[in-house]
Amino acid sequence: MLLRCLGVLLLLHIVDLWSVTADNSLITLPERDTNAVLYFETVLDPNDKLHLYWIVDYEEETVTFELRARVSDHDWIGVGFSDRGEINNADLCILWTDRKRKNRFQDVYTDESGFVTVDDHDDCHLLSMKRRGFVTRYAWSRKFDTCDNQDYYLEDGTTHIVYAVGRGPIRRLDGINLAKEIHGFQRVQLLKNVMPNPPFPEDTKTITIHNDKVAVPNVETTYYCTLHRLPPEFENKNHIIQYSSAIQEGSEGLVHHMEVFHCEVEADKKLPPWKGPCSSPEKPKILEACKRVLAAWAMGALPFTYPEEAGLPIGGPEFSRYVMLEVHYNNPELKEGVIDSSGIKLTYTPSLREYDAGVMELGLEYTNKMAIPPHQADFKLTGYCVAECTRVGLPAKGIVIFGSQLHTHLTGTKVYTKHIRGSAELPELNRDNHYSTHFQEIRRLKRQVRILPGDSLLTTCHYSTMDRENITLGGYAISEEMCVNYVHYYPKSDLEVCKSSIDTKVLGSYFRYMKQYNDEATSESKGVDENYQSIHWSQANADFLYHLYSSAPLSMQCNQSSGDRFPGYWNGTPKTEILYPLPPQKRRCTSAGAGKSYIDAEEEEGEE
């Protein structure tokens, strides 16, 4: 509790300082100051009238918020949460002024259509409030779990913060329809990692690998590849300790994700230049060697910083200085004439850290063998990294995973990775119950996880295809689907891809079965796409497919960084069985804390 009060004081204090110097501009933490208070912030509305700051107290399981609002004097302001950013079925704290000019702060929820009801249990605790002219600032606290079913449960992963504002003073909140007022939402990782970033060494430098005025094609999906050669200083080994996006202004909505791949060829080999679509038949064959992931970024991601003990190796006498930048342009509006020079900024140092870090792909193979039927509210697919593969691919002492980026395309709603040892489930690697393809950060894990040879990692994605008429196939296009967890770990091992899909033969028998016993137009002469599209996707057929995926053996991609499979037989691989699952997560509910329906807040006329 003391910690929390202290935090609030600090937070208010900091905001005070800012208001003098830079009330309207974005304020960022000084990068090197590790002693800075760990607060976070986000713009809520497009005009930055509502700016939210927050700190997380993991001991008390409480978030303390502070809002700086530029609204008229008696306007009411609501800030809260909902599952996916909608203002209906949301949970908010509303600050409002009644007809007697008294300020009130109340816990409310909205129904299916956005109508407000005041909550019986008040879980919005106003801590402080200041009003000066058109700027209102107030702080409140909220438990992660209030144990009130009308309240949103704050979880790890993505949180959709919703807001609404309207004219005041008003007589009461009940009956206001927030859907009819100004409202919106912002995605954030609310329960952020509060470990400070390690300081950068003195000799830290940056380099940006970016496109050079690429004319973005007017088609929905383009994977654009450009070959780059790193400067001679990379003849020596360096460690990348941070990477971030460098998106050209105006391209923000267009660049869906970017990756920098290293070309796995001899250091002195010269490669032919290339810029153009990644899958162009004119792209020289040898450039297929450019497939080891060095850095990745996807829409919404903040800079990713390595832990103090590890860095991503780059350069050295054996290291080819060629890298390939791949930019996924997503252009559904088929815009023409866009010229883009976006790329990825690498922060690196020659002062090597203890371990070399690596990136590994978990989840589903990029293949049309896996598919999601239409009109499904919640269809699950699971990709397996089986024990047989980690046994041949990982070092005896295992690896430590410290970061993760979850990845699906448009229909993904939830992603998590389970960790199995023997047949017992260990705590999950990570989970996002409110995943959005528009917010794919590479996140430092709050708890680093050691994976031993023989462990299995099961990555599950949930999809909603309610608004789709046709089956959604696995694949590269944004309209197709993926299920991937890119994990960042040390020490670097040779295992780069540990993913699965349904065993090919079993899928073939399924299509034969659907023809023979279900009268579907599947056929042995059709390809996988066409076969899936030939099936009439009734709910019964969708359920049957789900059961097939849940029981069929796997075809494994257990690949080395060279791109070759590890030796072994990787078809018909049995699924990982979980005989001892984790007990369901207990919610820590106490009966204390609930009670008052609202708190009167005295208006403080700021004397600053």
Ligand X SMILES: *[C@@H]1O[C@H](CO)[C@@H](O)[C@H](O)[C@H]1NC(C)=O
Q: Is residue 164 involved in binding ligand X (CB under 6 A)?
A: no
Q: Is residue 556 involved in binding ligand X (CB under 6 A)?
A: no
The CA distance from 319 to 526, in Å, is 44
From 411-419, 561-569, 573-581, 596-604, span contacting ligand X (CB under 6 A): 561-569
CB of 485 to ligand X, least distance (A): 14
Helix (H, G, I), strand (E, B) or coil at 586: coil
Pairing of strands 116-118, 103-110: antiparallel
| Cα four-point dihedral sign 316, 293, 196, 138 | positive
For the question of residue 407 being annotated catalytic, the response is: yes
Three-point CA angle 255, 259, 265, nearest 5°:
145
Q: Which long-range contacts (CB under 8 A, 24 or more apart) does 512-520 make?
A: 514/541
| CB count in 10 Å sphere of residue 3 | 12
Q: Residues touching ligand X: how many (CB under 6 A)? A: 9
Of the residues 72, 470, 509, 597, which one makes contact with ligand X according to CB under 6 A? 470
Among residues 199 and 563, whose Cβ is nearest to ligand X? 563
Q: Is residue 602 involved in binding ligand X (CB under 6 A)?
A: no
Of the residues 266, 469, 602, 605, which one makes contact with ligand X according to CB under 6 A? 469
Place of tokens 């919106």: 184
CB of 495 to ligand X, least distance (A): 11
Q: Is residue 49 involved in binding ligand X (CB under 6 A)?
A: no
Q: Is residue 559 involved in binding ligand X (CB under 6 A)?
A: yes
Q: Is residue 341 involved in binding ligand X (CB under 6 A)?
A: no
Beta-carbon contacts of residue 57 (< 8 Å; ≥ 6 apart): 3, 4, 7, 63, 64
Of the residues 103, 158, 197, 557, which one makes contact with ligand X according to CB under 6 A? 557
Q: Is residue 565 involved in binding ligand X (CB under 6 A)?
A: yes
CB of 545 to ligand X, least distance (A): 17
Burial class (CB in 10 A: 0-12, 13-18, 19+), 171: exposed
Among residues 141 and 382, whose Cβ is nearest to ligand X? 382
Which is the catalytic residue, given 51, 407, 419, 434?
407
- One-letter amino acid identity for 73? D
Q: How far from each other are the two terminal CA atoms of the chain, in whole angstroms?
A: 27
Q: Is residue 268 involved in binding ligand X (CB under 6 A)?
A: no
For the question of residue 366 being annotated catalytic, the response is: no
CB of 274 to ligand X, least distance (A): 19
Q: Give, as ranges, the residues between 269 and 288 that touch ligand X (CB under 6 A).
A: none
Which is the catalytic residue, given 74, 121, 153, 223?
223
Give start and end residues of each alpha helix (H) in 463-553.
Answer: 504-516, 528-534, 539-551
Q: Is residue 564 involved in binding ligand X (CB under 6 A)?
A: yes
From 221-229, 447-455, 505-513, 555-563, span contacting ligand X (CB under 6 A): 555-563
Q: Give, as ranges, the residues between 508 and 537 that touch ligand X (CB under 6 A).
A: 533
The CA distance from 406 to 410, in Å, is 13
Site string for ligand X, 344-383 (x = CB under 6 A): ----------------------------------------
Q: Is residue 575 involved in binding ligand X (CB under 6 A)?
A: no
Give start and end residues of each alpha helix (H) in 518-586.
Answer: 528-534, 539-551
Closest by CA to 394, choosing from 464, 321, 493, 297, is 493
What is the Cα 364 distance to its own chain's centre? 17
* 8-state DSSP, 16: H
Q: Is residue 563 involved in binding ligand X (CB under 6 A)?
A: yes
Helix (H, G, I), strand (E, B) or coil at 259: strand
* 385's tokens: 């990294």
Chain positions contacting ligand X, by CB under 6 A = 469-470, 497, 533, 557, 559, 563-565
| Residues labelled catalytic | 223, 407
